[in-house]
Amino acid sequence: MTSKEKLLDRVTKRSAVIGIIGLGYVGLPLMLRFVEQGFRVLGFDVDAERVALLNRGKSPIRHIGAAGIAAAAKRGFAATADFARAKEADVLIVCVPTPLNQHREPDLSHVRASIRALLPHLREGQAVSLESTTYPGTTEEEFLPLIESRGLKVGRDVFLMFSPEREDPGNEKYSTRTIPKVVGGTTPDCLAVGKAIYGAIIDIVVPVSSTRTAELVKLLENIHRAINIGLVNEMKIIADRMGIDIFEVVRAAATKPFGFVPYYPGPGLGGHCIPIDPFYLTWKAHQYGVHTRFIELAGEINRAMPAWVLQRIGDALNQAGKPLKGSRVLILGIAYKKNIDDIRESPSIELIRLLREKGSIVAYSDPYVPSVQAPHQYPALSMRSTACDAKTLAAQDCVVVATDHDAFDYELIRARASLIVDTRGRYDPSPDRIVRA
pLDDT(262) > 70: yes
Return d(Cα 283, Cα 181) in angstroms, integer.
Answer: 26
> In a 3-state reduction of DSSP, which class is residue 364?
strand
Q: Round to whole Å and give the CA distance between 344 and 274.
A: 11
Q: What is the pLDDT of residue 100?
A: 85
Handedness of CA 274, 279, 282, 284 (dihedral sign): negative
pLDDT at position 172 is 81
User: Residues 206-217: what's their mean pLDDT?
Assistant: 98
Average pLDDT score, the chain: 94
How much is the pLDDT for 432?
A: 79
Mean pLDDT of 2-22: 97
Q: Is 388 a catalytic residue?
A: no
pLDDT category at 374 given cuts 50, 70, 90 is low
Non-local (6+) Cβ contacts of 331 within 8 A are 348, 351, 352, 362, 363, 364, 365, 400, 402
Encode pLDDT of 154-184 as tens digits: 999 999 999 999 988 878 889 999 999 999 9
Residue 382's pLDDT band, with cuts at 50, 70 and 90, is confident
Query: Which residues are bridge partners to 207 per DSSP?
Result: 183
| Strand (E) or helix (H) holding 187 | none
Range in 80-94, 261-275, 385-399 the model is least confident about: 261-275
Inform me whether the pLDDT recorded for 226 exceeds 90. yes
Counting Cβ atoms within 10 Å, is residue 235 exposed (0-12), middle (13-18) or buried (19+)? middle
Mean pLDDT, to the nearest integer, of 258-280? 89
Q: CA-CA distance, 312 to 333, in Å (whole number)?
A: 18
Amino acid symbol at 6: K
Label residue 379 by pLDDT band (50, 70, 90).
Answer: low
| Dist. CA 97–CA 138, nearest whole Å | 14
Mean pLDDT of 265-271: 90
Q: At residue 344, what is the residue type?
A: R
pLDDT tens digits, one per residue of 313-330 = 999 999 999 999 999 999
Instruction: Name the percent of the chain lying above pLDDT 90.
Output: 86
The more confident residue out of 195 and 294 is: 195
What is the per-residue pLDDT for 181? Answer: 98
Q: Which residue among 190, 273, 388, 398 is the active-site one?
A: 273
Neighbours of 410 (CB within 10 A): 16
Q: pLDDT class for 274, splitting at 50, 70, 90?
A: confident
Residue 435 has pLDDT above 60, yes or no: yes
Minimal CA–CA distance to 177: which of 200, 211, 208, 194?
A: 200
Whether residue 36 is predicted with pLDDT greater than 70 in this model: the reply is: yes
| CB environment 390-406: b (16+ within 10 A), e (fewer) | eebbeebbbbbbbbbbe
Q: Which residue has the higher pLDDT, 201 or 377?
A: 201
Q: For the residues 265-281, what does the mean pLDDT come to?
A: 86
What integer is the mean pLDDT of 354-368? 96
Q: Which of 335 and 104 is assigned the larger pLDDT?
A: 335
Dist CA 339 CA 306 (whole Å): 21
- State how far the Cα of 337 lies from the Cα of 28, in Å rounded to an integer: 20
- Encode pLDDT of 50-107 as tens digits: 999 999 999 998 889 899 999 999 999 999 999 999 999 999 999 999 988 877 889 9
Distance CA 102, CA 69 (A): 35
Cα distances (Å, whole numbers) of residue 127 to 26, 121, 137, 256 = 18, 13, 18, 45
Residue ranges of domains in the chain, CATH in brackets: 3-209 (3.40.50.720), 304-436 (3.40.50.720)
Using the predicted structure, report yes or no on whether residue 276 has a pLDDT greater than 90.
no
Confidence of residue 376 (pLDDT cuts 50, 70, 90): low
Q: Stretch 33-55: mean pLDDT, rounded?
A: 96
pLDDT value at position 204? 98
